Amino acid sequence: MDWQQFWHTVTTPRVVASYRLTFGAALIGAIINAGFGLLTAWVLTRYQFPGKRLIDALVDLPFALPTAVAGIALTAIYSTNGWVGSLLAPYGIKVAFTPLGVVVALTFIGLPFVVRTVQPVLEDLEQEVEEAAASLGASRWQTFRKIISPAIFPALLTGFSLAFARAIGEYGSVIFIAGNMPMKSEITPLLIITKLEQFDYAGATAIAVVMLVISFVLLLTINLLQWWANQRNKNGA
């Protein structure tokens, strides 16, 4: 495959649409996980309530479930006659077999990365520092922004990058709920598998190279941000 053939393969409308869905859904899922993962870690470390151990164990459920099983379960739950999908259908919200379903699947498999990365950092934070800030007149928001946020930001960024990287290459839990409609809900890993099944090894490799390069650039950017945050914390200390 020469350069012209390579460029033609990786820039066809169907392939570009799969890039847009794969990286866009992975980014949205990672952002959602950053917010809800931080909230979940905060609740698990700062509060005592009935069923806490059960919820803490359920956080690791995406790690324990085979991805295909997770995909089938999510499809059953979010289909128009599923537990959640039937509640959303009257409002015109369709999750299964749409790009929204891809986001749901990628959010599900990425949440544990953020929770398990941020949780130890929150447990190690000394609450005496927060109490001292409160005694000096700081509000809860000021305490979080000035004391807690700088300490957990590197860990949160690490969890975000892990969830994002995991979502980019996810296959098993997505293909069932996505519907796999070309130009609409077809992810790039599925397109690579399709080309391999058609014995188009050069085309599959070309698309995989683009995925690899884009993923490397994005993760390098995230790592640079993490390094900058660590340097800032050291200088602040």
Question: Using H for helix, E for strand and C for coil, what is the string for 216-236?
Answer: HHHHHHHHHHHHHHHHHHHHH
Question: Token pair for residue 173?
Answer: 């839990």
Q: What is the pTM of this model?
A: 0.88
User: Contact at 8 Å (CB) between 114 and 160?
Assistant: yes
Distance CA 100, CA 168 (A): 15
Q: How confident is the model at residue 236 (pLDDT cuts 50, 70, 90)?
A: low
Alpha-carbon distance of 164 to 66, in angstroms, equals 19
3-232 placed in CATH 1.10.10.350: no
Sign of the torsion formed by the C-alpha atoms of 110, 113, 116 and 118:
negative
- Spatial separation of the C-alpha atoms in residues 107 and 188, rounded to whole Å: 17
Query: Across all residues in the chain, what is the average pLDDT?
Result: 88
Asked whether the predicted pLDDT for residue 135 surpasses 90, the reply is no
Q: According to the model, what pLDDT value does residue 179 have? A: 85
99-124 helix and 13-46 helix, angle to the nearest 10 degrees: 30
pLDDT band for position 174 (50/70/90)?
A: very high
The tokens for 142 are: 């000021």
Tokens of 112: 């544990």
Q: What is the mean pLDDT of residues 106-118?
A: 93
| CA separation for the pair 113, 145 (Å, rounded) | 23
What angle do helix axes 149-168 and 201-236 make, rounded to 10 degrees? 180
pLDDT-based confidence at 233, cuts 50/70/90?
low
pLDDT recorded at residue 36: 95
**pLDDT of the residue at 237:** 54
pLDDT band at 158 (very low <50, low <70, confident <90, very high): confident
